[in-house]
Amino acid sequence: MQHKKVGNLTFLTFPDLEHHQGLLHAISTRQGGVSSDNYSSLNLGFHVGDKHDRVKRNHQIVSQSLRFDLSSLVSCQQVHHHSIACIDKRYHKKDCFLPDNALPETDGLVTDVPGITLMTRYADCVPLLFYSPKTHTVALAHAGWKGTLGHIGPKTVELLTREFKCQRQDIHAALGPSIGPCCYEISNKMAVQAAKELVKGEAYSKELPGRKLLFNLWQANKEELYRAGIREENLSCAKICTSCNVDQFFSYRKEKQLTGRFGAFIGLREQ
């Protein structure tokens, strides 16, 4: 990934998604915001115990740095499920980044409307970003444990092909910073569940001495996307563990649940 400094903020971008005319994409980090303590400082989560006005101000700071219209930023109330919403032009200028307006019970967003920016929020779960250059369609999905086992990645690809006429071989996909195979400990019960729900699902769990089980969410999501028809050359993975890098990212596990959220952003600029 590439680090980009804009004023006090640092964003991460994927080389594979750069240089597409009109495409905006970024992963935010912790620095440059106005929140304090465990939310320090660029917390974008409204529901985590931080002050509403500070979180709102952090969204303003991000929108100014990335140069998108904040009122046309669309987010969803992520519930670790696998519902994906199609965002049309009615969502323009509706302040859907605010908790009352965010799409309820939704973990994925898709749009082809220029001027709308999609956003999902993270602290360990895997951000999935999608872009189809031929149809100018973008998508985001929130793939934590439940989302991954619920096949949210392949479901997003399915929706892109069905509703937006994208071709699987043209879709670019990227996995953002999230808890890595170095740190993501799971229970025996979860390993059994993964083996049942995912093709070759037993391959993603690794037992360490002391019977500690670690799970590879990155590999699981990558294999799921390959099976959904994404080409290997079109799939990027940040390979950045949030739990190992709490100076840069919020980590729900490492910070014992009291932490903020960083954001994944993707959208089409109005030409």
Query: Given the rule CB under 5 A, which residues bind Zn ion?
Result: 180, 182-183, 241, 243-244
Q: Quick check: helix, strand or coil at residue 123? A: coil
Inter-helix orientation angle 217-227/152-164, to 10°: 30
Instruction: State which amino acid sits at residue 49.
Output: G
Distance CA 194, CA 220 (A): 9
Beta bridge partners of 266: 25, 118
CB of 142 to Zn ion, least distance (A): 19
Work out how close the CB of 244 gets to Zn ion at its nearest, in angstroms, rounded to a whole number: 3
Q: CA 146, 163, 129 angle in degrees (round to 5)?
A: 45
How far CA 224 is from CA of 124, 155, 265, in Å, comes to 19, 10, 22
Q: Shortest distance, CB of residue 43 to Zn ion, whole angstroms? A: 21
Distance CA 118, CA 140 (A): 7
Q: How far is the CB of 110 from Zn ion (least distance, A)?
A: 30
Beta carbon of residue 219, minimum distance to Zn ion (angstroms, whole number): 14
Q: Provide, rounded to whole angstroms, the least separation between the CB of residue 210 and Zn ion.
A: 17
Give least dist CB 11 to Zn ion, A.
21
Nearer to Zn ion, 183 or 235 (CB): 183
Interatomic CA distance for residues 269 and 69, integer angstroms? 10
Nearest to Zn ion of 66, 241 (CB atom): 241
SS3 59: helix
Other residues' Cβ atoms within 10 Å of the Cβ of residue 45? 22
Question: Would you say 213 or 244 has its CB closer to Zn ion?
Answer: 244
Give the shortest CB-177-to-Zn ion separation in angstroms. 10
Closest to Zn ion by CB, 38 or 245: 245
Give residue 136's region: left, alpha or beta (phi > 0; psi -120 to 50). Answer: left
For residue 265, the cross-strand partners are: 26, 119
Closer Cβ to Zn ion, 40 or 245, answer by number: 245
Contact in structure between 33 and 25 (CB atoms under 8 Å): no
**Residue closer to Zn ion (CB basis): 234 or 243:** 243
Instruction: Decide whether 183 or 203 has the Cβ nearer to Zn ion.
Output: 183
In terms of DSSP H, where are the helices of 215-257? 217-227
Q: Based on CB atoms, which residue is closest to Zn ion, 77 or 245?
A: 245
Hunting for tokens 């840069």 — which residue is that? 248
